[in-house]
């Protein structure tokens, strides 16, 4: 065929999908703060916190959440303190 490379049009390649970074939502629920995040099946979500943004490390909060395609919520006691939260996706 005149030096043309072979092309296999019936070839599929699967790559892991990268989940969209979730937007955390926080709401006061009695003496607790409720932190909600949308999850995607096949991924694990670890909520982390810092008491001050200048703290050197993020601390895991609770156990990792298994994504299931639904919004999941974790609760933390308010008890008069300030915290910053984020989520790590694996």
Residue-wise pLDDT tens digits, 6-52: 766 676 767 666 667 788 999 998 899 999 999 999 999 999 999 99
The number of helix segments (H) and strand segments (E) in the chain equals 0, 7
- What is the C-alpha to C-alpha distance for residues 57 and 52, in angstroms, rounded to an integer? 10
Q: How many CB atoms lie within 10 A of CB 35?
A: 20
- The answer to whether residues 44 and 90 touch, using CB atoms and an 8 Å cutoff, is yes
Q: What is the pTM of this model?
A: 0.75
Residues 42-76: pLDDT tens digits?
Answer: 999 999 999 999 999 999 999 999 999 999 999 99
């Amino acid at each position: 065929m005149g030096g043309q490379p072979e092309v296999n049009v019936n070839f599929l390649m699967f790559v892991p999908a990268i989940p969209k970074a979730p937007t955390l939502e926080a709401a006061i629920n009695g003496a607790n703060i409720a932190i909600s995040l949308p999850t995607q099946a096949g991924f694990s979500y670890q909520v982390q916190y810092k008491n001050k943004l200048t703290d050197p490390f993020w601390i895991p909060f609770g156990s990792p959440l298994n994504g299931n395609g639904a919004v999941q919520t974790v609760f933390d006691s308010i008890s008069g303190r300030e915290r910053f939260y984020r989520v790590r996706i694996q």
